[in-house]
Structure 1
């Protein structure tokens, strides 16, 4: 078991800022440059702490994604090729919903929810409540909303250069964009599923005088899902660092280039 801080939350030692799940990235959200790694650890820890506090529930029966017993000739990793299943339809806020009642549907849900939980929206009070309602099971929403509001209070937002509404100052752009690279279904039943999502992302504030520059990160989110009201929803989630590749020798882009990229390139909806 991980050591805990003075508030009883497990310490993660992460350097990512995420929203309710691993850092206030809130679960996950942003990070600061390497020179400010101590501050990053604090931010990342907040989200992980929040998520870790939610008890795991409804673990699956260990069957395969299609409900059959695993066979020795099955591949160790599942293909991400098109399945023929009708794609999900987005609801308010752009977060996909209506996932298939299958292991594959659970993996698609987990990938999409990982993106939402590490987005900049989690830091915005108004948008945050909408994300919680669409992503989490009903009986977790009230407690999580309260925890997120306390974690992402005015003081915290100020520490990463944002105002009380989660907005960056004039001339700056806050970046929190996650890209799932793969999923792994570790437990599945008709009522619940456990999915690990391997992700990479960029987090920080783009701006010439930013003290929290945009940096990249690699992490794995584990989401406990529950089938509720005809869809997969998150019951709890946690996050850990890596696996991460050896850093490349890419030349860092300017703050203006990063801000422009975020504005011009939209995110993906992950559906199989």
Structure 2
């Protein structure tokens, strides 16, 4: 699946090295490797080195994504929300604290987070999972996700921009129909797992949280030209305490930190698709 060092925010155009939407819906393309032989692209052999032909295809998709992302982020006044205090929190291990930070769920997304730093980190982790999911590309699911994750005064504008960015033409180019569904025999996969969180600023009314993530993204199925691969990235979310809960005002994304990839046999397309169907997601909390 799969722009400049400055982080983007809702309302501004992101740079190529720091793109808040580059992993949304699993559309990252920069690590896709094309098969050199026919048959199942997950057939068990080591991943072949990228050919010049596949590189041209990847560059083409990346150009498409950058255009869609820039379009999605038009509007706004071009300024980022700044927390009430810019006081970075101390580095702490991501571990259970004994405090339950989540009170319930709305539309499958956790809600009712504790009004403290722990609750803000839990909110950011759960929102990262929702924002980098296959459902964000589905027109009938997107409004529910956006309204659950973002503050009310930000949701309407963002929803409209995403609707335009991820329209029928865009979906078709990534292998999905107008409803965001894959073709028969294919399974579109975009699943994220937070590895850790860090509060870089916190006050009772706002917080800046970084969420280090890994995930699997791509199309599983025989003949897929975008096989499922893994990625590592960090989402930075600006949160606000509003109406008794933490909600996002903006977010940005950057690559890494990424470990060295293990040299291990890839699973078949059927195994990958089955795993996504059988293994449910988590509600994340510190």
TM superposition score normalised by structure 1: 0.84
Partner of 2:40: none
Distance between the aligned counterparts of 2:257 and 2:92, measured in 1? 18
SS in 2 for 1:178: strand
Query: How much does 1:62 deviate?
Result: 3.6
Distance 1:134 1:43, change over 3 A: farther
Partner of 1:233: 247
The runs of at least 4 consecutive aligned structure 1 residues that moved more than 6 Å come to none
Distance between the aligned counterparts of 2:256 and 2:73, measured in 1? 18
Query: How much does 1:202 deviate?
Result: 0.6
Distance 1:39 1:214, change over 3 A: farther
Task: Determine which of 47, 51, 62 is the counterpart of 1:41.
Answer: 62
Kept after mapping to 2: 8 A contact 1:51/1:238:
no
CA displacement, residues 189-211 of structure 1 (integer Å, 9 cap, x when unaligned) = 11110001111111111010112
Task: Determine which of 76, 79, 87 is the counterpart of 2:93.
Answer: 79
1:22 aligns with 2:36: no
**Whose relative contact order is higher, 1 or 2, with alpha carbons under 8 Å and at least 6 apart?**
2
Kept after mapping to 1: 8 A contact 2:126/2:283:
yes
The two structures, once aligned, show a CA RMSD in angstroms of 2.5
- Unaligned stretches of 5+ in structure 1? 66-75
Partner of 2:215: 201
Distance 1:161 1:179, change over 3 A: same
Distance between the aligned counterparts of 1:109 and 1:181, measured in 2? 14
Task: Pick which of 31-40 and 120-129 moved more.
Answer: 31-40
Distance between the aligned counterparts of 1:114 and 1:52, measured in 2? 22
Task: Determine which of 3, 6, 10 is the counterpart of 2:14.
Answer: 10
Distance between the aligned counterparts of 2:223 and 2:114, measured in 1? 46
- Unaligned stretches of 5+ in structure 2? 6-11, 34-53
1:61 aligns with 2:85: yes
Partner of 1:69: none
Query: How much does 1:147 deviate?
Result: 0.7
1:31 aligns with 2:28: yes
Task: Determine which of 131, 142, 151 is the counterpart of 2:165.
Answer: 151
Query: How much does 1:50 deviate?
Result: 4.2
For this pair of structures, how many residues does the alignment match? 252
